[in-house]
Structure 1
Amino acid sequence: MRCRIVKDYRFEAAQTLPSLPGNHKCKNMHGHSFKVEIAVEGEVNPEIGWVYDHAEISRAMNPLMDLLDHSYLNEIEGLENPTIENMAAWLWRKLAPQLPGLCEIVIHETPTARCVFRGEF
């Protein structure tokens, strides 16, 4: 049996989007209450009944959450232009080596706007 498990994380951060035209409101400093969903997929181990230990996802995510939460995202190496698209790719590069089966990262910047990223191609 194949399943996908998803673990959610939340953080608050400020950002500017420096590549936008000068009159775009998001070029100015602003903040979001971000929600990140990390999905891992694989075969269910019939002996223990799960795909993956959620604690392993947290072990990989917690140092990144410490870096992101209540930060100015533009100051983090690799996030100089912290669009949710760039943030998703950044998270993927950090997490993929530690999380076999990583299949999707979703980043919500508002309750109605999000990016779905399924790996680098």
Structure 2
Amino acid sequence: MKITQAFHFEAAHRLPNVPEGHRCANLHGHSYRIELTLEGPVDPHSGFVIDFFDIEAAFGPLLNTLDHHYLNDIAGLDNPTAELIAVWIWERVKPSLQQLIKVIVYETPDCWAEYDGV
């Protein structure tokens, strides 16, 4: 069974490694959507793969670190592309959510990055 929980945050960033003249080199912001997908058996007693409140508790501190912040100032996010944000989240949440199989970072409703640990 796979389950997914979504989270949202607002943040500003700029991409320092894009070519000169690229519009993403300028300071701008996004309404990000994060999806954490976990996989495992359904516990016959609880009926859960994992309680959604446990996912929220594991990701909550990271969400607070990201929400309404300048991402470039966060340790490990000096080049905060959607791809690198997904890896950053994975590395920090996977130890407490062993069943995690995928992180999706939506930078816009039409643009996203997916990371599965590989």
Residue correspondence of structure 1 range 31-110 to structure 2 within 5 A: 31-110=29-108
Shift of 1:47: 1.8
Unmatched runs of 5 consecutive residues or more in structure 1: none
For normalisation by structure 2, the TM-score amounts to 0.97
Instruction: Find the counterpart in structure 1 of residue 10 from structure 2.
Output: 12
Instruction: Find the counterpart in structure 2 of residue 27 from structure 1.
Output: 25
Unmatched runs of 5 consecutive residues or more in structure 2: none
For normalisation by structure 1, the TM-score amounts to 0.95
Identity rate of aligned residues, in percent? 42
Paired with 1:110 and 1:6, the residues of 2 have a C-alpha distance of 19
Paired with 2:91 and 2:103, the residues of 1 have a C-alpha distance of 11
How many residue pairs match? The answer is: 118
Runs of 4+ off more than 2 Å: none
Paired with 2:107 and 2:46, the residues of 1 have a C-alpha distance of 35
Paired with 2:9 and 2:48, the residues of 1 have a C-alpha distance of 27
